[in-house]
A and B are shown apart, each in its own frame.
Chain A
Amino acid sequence: MRLKKAFLKTRKSFLAILPVIAGMMLLTGLILQFVPIQALSSLMGKSKALDALSGALLGSVSAGQPLISYVLGGELLASGVSLVAVTALIVSWVTVGSVQLPFEVMMLGRRFAIVRNLISFVFSILIAILTVSTLSLLGVAL
């Protein structure tokens, strides 16, 4: 009886949210096709300080497999973009969810979702600076 009640409750929660999950997946596909991620990356390579910010911004508006960020990061690094910027991109790619933000707002509340993503954005830059500084201290070059 308890199991049946729990099953019905879980099914109800799930069915209520399925249209949003379907909508978010469709929206992610649309954003990735129509937002020119590659073109945005051309903004980088101008100044080291701005690069970190651009990297974090680029990663934040992106979604999809982290592998894409590794490939894109590798290409940017080869074309002279700083490692701090590339790291900010890689970290914000997996920790900041601008594309998923509407869903997070719906699930966990507007204030929590926005503040959490802002914190994650700032942290992606801090992690990038720390990672590159530590590599430098250890004498490791990429």
Chain B
Amino acid sequence: MKHRLSKPMAFLLVVLLMYLAAGLYDAERAVAALSFSVSMAGQILPVLALVFAIMLLSNVLLKSQWVKTHLGRDSGAGAWLVSVIAGIFSPGPIYPWLTLLKELKEKGMRPALIAVFLYSRGIKLPMLPLLIHYFGLAYALLLLLYIPLFALLSGVLIEKLPGLNEVEK
């Protein structure tokens, strides 16, 4: 019986082969790369757990019809605002959040709101004191103002551009 490698497993295999090649080229840097990735995995685990919980809840509570009504094509200004706030407060690396967004998109979430959520993640509240330390309060406040505004604008553009606003049936 033939076993075909799934696309995700094939992707992982390719990356592992790249590590092998990198290790042969420069073992020290390959180990440093691996060490960075392991530390990133440490950060991602709690977020994965959080996203798993949200996905589970959404699978229990949210029916496609609810998503289509509240986050779909006819959702109102509130949905845009919620997307900005959710993006700002979504912690950790992007990968688990993309998994959640894929599920919500399949249930009928408007692509424009996905764009708004992703762009709003540009605001990193825990890093705010450091941004103020390096560039000053006025600079940090301006970025806090402009990033959400442009997040909304990116959603509007995604909505207007043809072929980008298809919601799963």
Contacts and interface: CB of A to CB of B under 8 A. Distances in A.
Contacts of A100: 94-95, 98
B11 A20 contact: yes
Q: Please classify the interface of chain B as helix (H, G, I), strand (E, B), loop, or mixed, using the class held by over half of its residues.
A: helix
A33 B29 contact: yes
Contacts, number: 186
B60 A2 contact: yes
B164 A112 contact: yes
Interface residues of B, number: 68
A111 B15 CA distance: 24
B136 interface: yes
A6 B124 CA distance: 32
B55 A27 contact: no
B83 interface: no
B50 interface: no
A73 interface: yes
A26 B34 contact: yes
Interface of A: 2-3, 6-7, 9-10, 13-14, 16-30, 32-34, 64-67, 70-71, 73-74, 87, 90-91, 94-95, 97, 100, 102-104, 106-108, 111-112, 115-116, 119-120, 123, 126-127, 130-131, 134-135, 138, 140, 142
Interface of B: 6-9, 11-12, 14-16, 18-19, 22, 29-30, 32-37, 40-41, 44, 48, 52, 55-56, 59-60, 93-96, 98-99, 101-103, 105, 111, 114-115, 118-119, 121-124, 127, 130-131, 134-136, 138-139, 142-143, 146-147, 150, 153-154, 157-158, 161, 163-164
Given A33-B36, A70-B134, A100-B98, 20 more contacts: A10-B59, A21-B44, A22-B41, A23-B15, A25-B41, A26-B16, A28-B37, A29-B33, A29-B37, A30-B37, A33-B33, A67-B127, A74-B135, A107-B99, A112-B158, A119-B115, A119-B158, A134-B142, A135-B138, A135-B142
